[in-house]
Amino acid sequence: MLLGIDTSGAVSTAVARGALPGPAAAGTTAPGAPLEILQVRSDERSRHHDEVLLALIDETLHAAGVERGALTGVVVGRGPGPFTGLRVGLVSARSIAAVLGIPLHGLSSLDALAHQALADLDPARRGPVTVGVALDARRREVYHARYRREAGGEISRVADPAVAAPAEVAEELTACDLLVGSGTRLYPELLPATADLVHVDAGHLLLAAAALTARGEDLTSTEPLYLREPDAAKPTARKSALGR
Protein backbone atom coordinates (compact mmCIF):
# COMPACT_ATOMS: atom_id res chain seq x y z
CA MET A 1 0.00 0.00 0.00
CA LEU A 2 1.29 3.45 -0.94
CA LEU A 3 0.44 6.86 0.49
CA GLY A 4 0.67 9.91 -1.76
CA ILE A 5 0.94 13.48 -0.45
CA ASP A 6 1.10 16.76 -2.36
CA THR A 7 0.95 20.26 -0.88
CA SER A 8 2.30 22.30 -3.80
CA GLY A 9 -0.99 24.19 -4.04
CA ALA A 10 -4.04 22.50 -2.63
CA VAL A 11 -3.60 19.65 -0.15
CA SER A 12 -4.11 16.26 -1.78
CA THR A 13 -3.67 12.74 -0.40
CA ALA A 14 -4.18 9.32 -1.95
CA VAL A 15 -3.86 5.65 -1.09
CA ALA A 16 -3.03 2.99 -3.67
CA ARG A 17 -2.78 -0.78 -3.63
CA GLY A 18 0.54 -1.98 -5.02
CA ALA A 19 4.18 -0.93 -4.95
CA LEU A 20 6.48 1.16 -7.08
CA PRO A 21 8.09 -1.07 -9.71
CA GLY A 22 11.80 -1.63 -10.01
CA PRO A 23 13.61 -0.44 -13.15
CA ALA A 24 13.08 -2.55 -16.25
CA ALA A 25 15.96 -4.36 -17.87
CA ALA A 26 16.90 -3.22 -21.35
CA GLY A 27 14.25 -4.22 -23.86
CA THR A 28 11.85 -5.53 -21.21
CA THR A 29 8.89 -4.27 -19.24
CA ALA A 30 9.23 -3.68 -15.49
CA PRO A 31 7.43 -6.42 -13.55
CA GLY A 32 4.57 -5.85 -11.20
CA ALA A 33 0.87 -5.10 -11.45
CA PRO A 34 -0.21 -1.48 -12.05
CA LEU A 35 -1.17 0.59 -9.04
CA GLU A 36 -4.82 0.64 -8.05
CA ILE A 37 -5.82 4.02 -6.67
CA LEU A 38 -8.19 3.30 -3.80
CA GLN A 39 -9.03 6.76 -2.47
CA VAL A 40 -8.13 10.41 -3.13
CA ARG A 41 -8.98 13.39 -0.95
CA SER A 42 -8.26 17.09 -1.53
CA ASP A 43 -8.71 20.40 0.27
CA GLU A 44 -8.29 23.55 -1.82
CA ARG A 45 -8.23 26.08 1.01
CA SER A 46 -5.05 28.09 0.66
CA ARG A 47 -2.64 28.66 3.55
CA HIS A 48 -4.21 25.95 5.73
CA HIS A 49 -1.90 23.04 4.93
CA ASP A 50 -0.75 22.54 8.51
CA GLU A 51 -4.35 22.45 9.76
CA VAL A 52 -5.80 19.97 7.28
CA LEU A 53 -3.05 17.60 6.08
CA LEU A 54 -2.89 15.05 8.91
CA ALA A 55 -6.68 14.86 9.20
CA LEU A 56 -6.92 14.42 5.42
CA ILE A 57 -4.40 11.57 5.53
CA ASP A 58 -6.42 9.82 8.23
CA GLU A 59 -9.65 10.38 6.29
CA THR A 60 -8.13 8.93 3.11
CA LEU A 61 -6.74 5.87 4.90
CA HIS A 62 -10.05 5.26 6.66
CA ALA A 63 -12.03 5.55 3.40
CA ALA A 64 -9.64 3.07 1.77
CA GLY A 65 -9.92 0.68 4.72
CA VAL A 66 -6.16 0.81 5.26
CA GLU A 67 -4.28 1.08 8.56
CA ARG A 68 -1.13 3.17 8.71
CA GLY A 69 0.84 0.09 9.63
CA ALA A 70 -0.12 -1.51 6.29
CA LEU A 71 1.67 1.19 4.29
CA THR A 72 4.81 0.06 2.47
CA GLY A 73 5.88 3.37 0.96
CA VAL A 74 5.21 7.12 0.79
CA VAL A 75 5.41 9.36 -2.29
CA VAL A 76 5.52 13.12 -1.81
CA GLY A 77 5.38 16.06 -4.21
CA ARG A 78 8.54 18.17 -4.05
CA GLY A 79 6.93 21.22 -5.60
CA PRO A 80 7.66 23.80 -6.76
CA GLY A 81 5.28 25.63 -4.49
CA PRO A 82 5.06 28.06 -1.57
CA PHE A 83 7.70 27.56 1.11
CA THR A 84 5.33 26.87 4.01
CA GLY A 85 2.99 24.55 2.13
CA LEU A 86 5.79 22.40 0.75
CA ARG A 87 7.48 22.18 4.12
CA VAL A 88 4.29 20.87 5.75
CA GLY A 89 3.91 18.12 3.17
CA LEU A 90 7.56 17.09 3.11
CA VAL A 91 7.98 17.04 6.89
CA SER A 92 4.80 14.99 7.31
CA ALA A 93 5.85 12.50 4.62
CA ARG A 94 9.33 12.13 6.11
CA SER A 95 7.90 11.64 9.60
CA ILE A 96 5.43 8.94 8.51
CA ALA A 97 8.10 7.08 6.52
CA ALA A 98 10.58 7.27 9.41
CA VAL A 99 8.12 6.10 12.07
CA LEU A 100 6.93 3.17 9.92
CA GLY A 101 10.39 2.38 8.58
CA ILE A 102 9.23 2.43 4.94
CA PRO A 103 10.72 3.95 1.76
CA LEU A 104 10.08 7.58 0.89
CA HIS A 105 10.05 8.84 -2.70
CA GLY A 106 9.77 12.35 -4.12
CA LEU A 107 9.06 13.87 -7.51
CA SER A 108 8.17 17.23 -8.99
CA SER A 109 4.52 18.16 -8.55
CA LEU A 110 4.61 19.49 -12.12
CA ASP A 111 5.39 15.95 -13.33
CA ALA A 112 2.23 14.71 -11.64
CA LEU A 113 0.06 17.43 -13.18
CA ALA A 114 1.42 16.67 -16.65
CA HIS A 115 0.68 12.98 -16.09
CA GLN A 116 -2.89 13.83 -15.13
CA ALA A 117 -3.40 16.07 -18.16
CA LEU A 118 -2.28 13.25 -20.45
CA ALA A 119 -4.38 10.67 -18.61
CA ASP A 120 -7.48 12.80 -19.21
CA LEU A 121 -6.73 13.03 -22.93
CA ASP A 122 -9.03 11.36 -25.44
CA PRO A 123 -7.70 7.77 -25.82
CA ALA A 124 -8.31 8.01 -29.55
CA ARG A 125 -5.72 10.76 -29.87
CA ARG A 126 -2.54 9.30 -31.32
CA GLY A 127 0.92 10.65 -32.00
CA PRO A 128 3.16 12.90 -29.90
CA VAL A 129 1.49 15.36 -27.50
CA THR A 130 3.12 18.30 -25.70
CA VAL A 131 2.01 19.60 -22.30
CA GLY A 132 2.68 22.92 -20.61
CA VAL A 133 2.15 23.24 -16.85
CA ALA A 134 1.93 26.57 -15.02
CA LEU A 135 1.33 26.85 -11.27
CA ASP A 136 0.71 29.99 -9.25
CA ALA A 137 4.05 31.16 -7.81
CA ARG A 138 2.67 34.39 -6.32
CA ARG A 139 4.58 37.66 -6.87
CA ARG A 140 2.82 37.75 -10.29
CA GLU A 141 4.88 34.77 -11.47
CA VAL A 142 4.28 31.12 -12.37
CA TYR A 143 6.21 27.91 -11.84
CA HIS A 144 6.34 26.21 -15.21
CA ALA A 145 7.67 23.19 -17.11
CA ARG A 146 7.01 21.48 -20.44
CA TYR A 147 6.56 17.79 -21.32
CA ARG A 148 6.19 15.56 -24.35
CA ARG A 149 4.43 12.22 -24.68
CA GLU A 150 5.75 10.15 -27.54
CA ALA A 151 3.55 8.02 -29.74
CA GLY A 152 4.68 4.97 -27.75
CA GLY A 153 3.37 6.50 -24.52
CA GLU A 154 6.62 7.50 -22.75
CA ILE A 155 6.47 10.94 -21.13
CA SER A 156 9.61 13.07 -20.90
CA ARG A 157 10.24 16.53 -19.52
CA VAL A 158 11.59 18.85 -22.23
CA ALA A 159 11.98 21.98 -20.09
CA ASP A 160 12.86 21.75 -16.39
CA PRO A 161 10.87 23.55 -13.67
CA ALA A 162 11.54 27.28 -13.47
CA VAL A 163 9.83 30.45 -12.29
CA ALA A 164 9.02 33.50 -14.44
CA ALA A 165 6.46 36.18 -15.18
CA PRO A 166 3.57 34.79 -17.27
CA ALA A 167 4.34 37.10 -20.19
CA GLU A 168 7.90 35.76 -20.38
CA VAL A 169 6.80 32.14 -20.90
CA ALA A 170 3.42 32.59 -22.57
CA GLU A 171 4.69 31.91 -26.09
CA GLU A 172 6.39 28.61 -25.29
CA LEU A 173 3.60 27.36 -23.01
CA THR A 174 0.74 28.23 -25.35
CA ALA A 175 2.58 26.45 -28.17
CA CYS A 176 1.94 23.18 -26.30
CA ASP A 177 -1.03 21.01 -27.23
CA LEU A 178 -2.22 21.04 -23.60
CA LEU A 179 -1.86 23.79 -21.01
CA VAL A 180 -2.97 23.26 -17.41
CA GLY A 181 -2.37 24.42 -13.85
CA SER A 182 -3.45 27.12 -11.41
CA GLY A 183 -1.47 29.73 -13.36
CA THR A 184 -3.94 29.40 -16.23
CA ARG A 185 -6.79 30.39 -13.93
CA LEU A 186 -4.94 33.51 -12.75
CA TYR A 187 -3.68 34.65 -16.15
CA PRO A 188 -6.24 33.36 -18.69
CA GLU A 189 -5.43 36.03 -21.29
CA LEU A 190 -1.75 35.02 -21.39
CA LEU A 191 -2.10 31.34 -20.48
CA PRO A 192 -5.45 30.01 -21.75
CA ALA A 193 -6.14 26.57 -20.29
CA THR A 194 -7.06 23.61 -22.46
CA ALA A 195 -8.70 21.82 -19.50
CA ASP A 196 -10.01 22.74 -16.05
CA LEU A 197 -7.08 21.10 -14.29
CA VAL A 198 -5.70 23.34 -11.56
CA HIS A 199 -4.13 21.42 -8.68
CA VAL A 200 -2.16 18.21 -8.32
CA ASP A 201 -4.15 15.05 -7.64
CA ALA A 202 -2.15 12.78 -5.30
CA GLY A 203 -3.45 9.72 -7.12
CA HIS A 204 -1.70 10.90 -10.27
CA LEU A 205 1.36 11.71 -8.17
CA LEU A 206 1.51 7.99 -7.32
CA LEU A 207 0.91 6.94 -10.92
CA ALA A 208 3.57 9.32 -12.22
CA ALA A 209 6.04 7.98 -9.63
CA ALA A 210 5.31 4.43 -10.78
CA ALA A 211 5.92 5.36 -14.43
CA LEU A 212 9.20 7.11 -13.59
CA THR A 213 10.60 4.36 -11.38
CA ALA A 214 9.66 1.73 -13.97
CA ARG A 215 12.07 3.32 -16.40
CA GLY A 216 14.83 3.70 -13.86
CA GLU A 217 14.40 7.26 -12.57
CA ASP A 218 15.86 7.94 -9.12
CA LEU A 219 13.14 9.31 -6.83
CA THR A 220 15.06 9.06 -3.55
CA SER A 221 15.49 12.83 -3.15
CA THR A 222 12.81 14.65 -1.20
CA GLU A 223 14.50 18.05 -1.22
CA PRO A 224 11.94 20.78 -1.93
CA LEU A 225 11.92 22.55 -5.29
CA TYR A 226 11.48 26.13 -4.11
CA LEU A 227 13.17 27.70 -7.20
CA ARG A 228 13.64 30.95 -5.29
CA GLU A 229 14.22 32.28 -1.79
CA PRO A 230 11.29 32.16 0.69
CA ASP A 231 9.20 35.31 1.07
CA ALA A 232 10.36 35.85 4.66
CA ALA A 233 13.67 37.70 4.61
CA LYS A 234 16.49 36.85 6.98
CA PRO A 235 17.00 39.49 9.70
CA THR A 236 19.89 41.84 9.13
CA ALA A 237 22.45 42.76 11.76
CA ARG A 238 20.91 44.76 14.60
CA LYS A 239 21.66 48.45 14.32
CA SER A 240 23.03 50.21 17.38
CA ALA A 241 20.81 52.84 18.96
CA LEU A 242 23.93 55.02 19.14
CA GLY A 243 24.42 54.78 15.39
CA ARG A 244 27.59 52.67 15.61
Whether omega before 80 lies within 30 degrees of 0, making that bond cis, reads yes
The pLDDT mean for the chain works out to: 88
The domain ranges of the chain are 2-109+200-214, 110-186
- pLDDT digits 0-9 by tens, 121-142: 877 777 899 999 999 999 999 9
- Judge whether residue 82 has pLDDT over 80: yes
- pTM: predicted TM-score of the whole model, two decimal places: 0.87
- pLDDT digits 0-9 by tens, 207-237: 999 999 998 999 999 999 988 765 544 444 4
CATH topology of domain 110-186: Nucleotidyltransferase; domain 5 (3.30.420)
Do 35 and 232 form a contact (C-beta atoms < 8 A)?
no
CATH 3.30.565.10 is the classification of domain 2-109+200-214? no
User: Which of 81, 228, 204, 61 is CA-nearest to residue 90?
Assistant: 81
Segment of 18-22, 117-121, 131-135 carrying the highest mean pLDDT:
131-135
| Cα 148 from chain centroid (whole Å) | 17
Q: Got the DSSP string for 163-182? A: EE-HHHHHHHHHTSSEEESH
Separation CA 131–CA 147 (nearest Å): 5
CA distance readout (Å), 223 to 53, 79, 104? 19, 9, 12
Separation CA 229–CA 209 (nearest Å): 27
Lowest mean pLDDT among 26-30, 66-70, 144-148, 210-214: 26-30
Lowest mean pLDDT among 116-125, 185-194, 212-221: 116-125
- Judge whether residue 50 has pLDDT over 90: no
Percent of the chain topping pLDDT 70 = 87
pLDDT of res. 25: 38
